[in-house]
C-alpha cells in the first residue's frame, strides 16, 4: 500500500498524450481483452491480418494508467508488418525498452499488453481452425501473468466484499 515514485520516460508521456492506432477496429480478423476494470488495468487488442499471416494493422483500446496506454500503443506499432510468428515472439521486455524503460512497478503494463496481443493471435488461429507448429500449447509467461492478475482482482474483490465485473 505504499506509493512508488513514477518517473515516466518522455516517450511514455508522448504516447499517453498522442496514442497511435487508438480505437476499435470494425474489420478486425481477431481481437482479445486482457485484464479487467477491477484490476484497474484492461487492454483490448485488435489485429488485421493478411492472407500470408502478416499483420497489416493493429489497434487498441485501454483502461489503465499512462504506462498501460503507452505500452499498448507502442505494441500496435511494433507488430505492424510482422508475421504472426514474429509478433508472437515480442516479449514484454522489448516493449519496455521501446518506451524508454518502464518503472519497476509498471512492468506488468508491458506484460499485459503482450498478453493481450498473444491472446488475439490465438484467437485468430482459433477462428481459422488451425494450429501452427510454433504456437505453444501451454500459455506463456505474459498470458499467465494476465490471467493471474485477473484472478487476483476477482479474489480480492470477493474477500473484501466488493464486486468484480469480470
Partner 1 sequence: MGDVEELIKAHGELKREVYLDFENSSPVPGEILEVMLPYFNRVAYGNPTLTHKPGWEAYEAISKSAEKIASFIGSKEPEEINFTPGETEANNLALIGAALRRKEKGRKILVSEVEPLSILHVCRMLENYGFTTVNVPVDEEGFINLERLKELADREVILASFMAVNNEIGTIEPLREAVEIVKDKSPEAIFHTDASDAYGRVRFDVGRLDVDLATISSYKILGPRGIGALYVKGGVSLEKILEGQFGTQKLWPGVENTPLIVGFAAASEKAFSNFDGNVAHMARLRDKLISGILNGLDGTILNGPLGDRRAPDNVNVSFLKCEGESLTVELSLRGVYVSSGSACTRRILQPSHVLLAIGRRFEEAHGSILMKVTRYHTDEDIEYVLQSIREAVSRLRMIYGSMGG
Could you give the residue numbers annotated as active site?
39, 109
Identify which of residues 49 and 70 has a Cβ nearer to partner 1 in the complex.
70
Spatial contact of 116 and 72, defined as CB atoms under 8 Å apart: yes
CB of 95 to partner 1, least distance (A): 15
Cα separation, 54 vs 84, whole angstroms: 6
Identify which of residues 85 and 127 has a Cβ nearer to partner 1 in the complex.
127
- Who contacts 133 (Cβ-Cβ below 8 Å, separation ≥6)? none
Q: How many Cβ atoms are within 10 Å of 150's Cβ, its own excluded?
A: 22
Identify which of residues 79 and 112 has a Cβ nearer to partner 1 in the complex.
112
CB of 134 to partner 1, least distance (A): 26
Is the sign of the CA dihedral 160, 161, 163, 166 positive or negative? Answer: positive
Contacts with partner 1, residue ranges (CB under 8 A): 1-4, 6-10, 12-14, 16-17, 19, 22-24, 31-33, 37-42, 44, 61-66, 68-69, 100-101, 103, 105, 149, 152-153, 156-157, 160-165
Written as one string, the DSSP assignment of 71-82 is HHHHHHHHHTT-
CB of 112 to partner 1, least distance (A): 12
Amino acid at each position: 500500500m505504499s506509493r512508488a515514485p513514477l518517473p515516466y520516460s518522455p516517450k511514455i508521456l508522448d504516447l499517453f498524450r498522442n496514442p497511435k492506432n487508438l480505437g476499435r477496429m470494425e474489420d478486425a480478423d481477431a481481437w482479445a481483452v486482457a485484464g479487467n476494470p477491477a484490476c484497474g488495468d484492461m487492454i483490448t487488442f485488435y489485429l488485421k491480418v493478411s492472407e500470408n499471416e502478416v499483420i497489416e494493422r493493429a489497434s487498441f483500446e485501454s483502461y489503465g494508467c499512462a504506462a498501460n496506454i503507452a505500452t499498448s500503443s507502442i505494441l500496435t506499432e511494433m507488430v505492424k508488418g510482422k508475421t504472426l510468428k514474429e509478433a508472437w515472439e515480442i516479449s514484454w521486455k522489448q516493449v519496455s525498452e521501446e518506451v524508454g524503460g518502464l518503472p519497476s512497478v509498471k512492468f506488468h503494463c508491458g506484460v499485459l499488453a503482450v498478453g493481450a496481443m498473444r491472446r488475439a493471435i490465438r484467437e485468430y488461429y482459433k477462428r481459422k481452425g488451425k494450429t501452427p507448429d510454433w504456437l505453444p500449447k501451454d500459455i506463456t509467461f505474459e498470458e499467465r501473468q494476465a490471467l493471474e492478475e485477473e484472478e487476483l482482482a476477482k479474489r480480492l474483490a470477493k474477500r473484501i466484499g466488493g464486486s468484480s465485473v469480470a
